[in-house]
Structure 1
């Protein structure tokens, strides 16, 4: 599995750790990941590659919608 691509959509996951930039924190360190997105992963996909912000950010988008 390619650790630099989202296992759900196949796009670049923007993971700084997978890209070898371990001197900077990854975007996901402070992100709220939608539990439903994680449930869409197969057991083989789990803990192998990060989701991209679009796939993982569904919870964040839902929260913004509730505030408006």
Structure 2
């Protein structure tokens, strides 16, 4: 799996992180208002940075499912 700061460590899609690749702290990102369940963060494999996950994974959804074959992405 890609270990880039701009990809989700769970699904590999872009994470839409406003902080990814930016040296200074940002004032706003989608994840600042998102409550991410601890069990979602526990799914990040050992040895992978606990960086931003995408909005879909943050909600506990798989990268693709039967209702939506286009993954969305983001930060946490």
Q: TM-score, normalised by structure 2?
A: 0.62
Point out the structure with max Rg over C-alpha.
Answer: 1
Q: TM-score, normalised by structure 1?
A: 0.68
Q: Which ranges in structure 1 are unaligned for 5 or more consecutive residues? A: 59-68
Q: Which ranges in structure 2 are unaligned for 5 or more consecutive residues? A: 61-76
Number of paired residues?
A: 57
Match of 2:28 among 22, 25, 30: 25
Match of 1:45 among 45, 48, 56: 48
Match of 2:56 among 54, 57, 63: 54
Stretches (4+) displaced over 6 A: none
Report the RMSD for the aligned CA atoms in angstroms: 1.9
| Residue 13 of structure 2 corresponds to residue 11 of structure 1 | yes
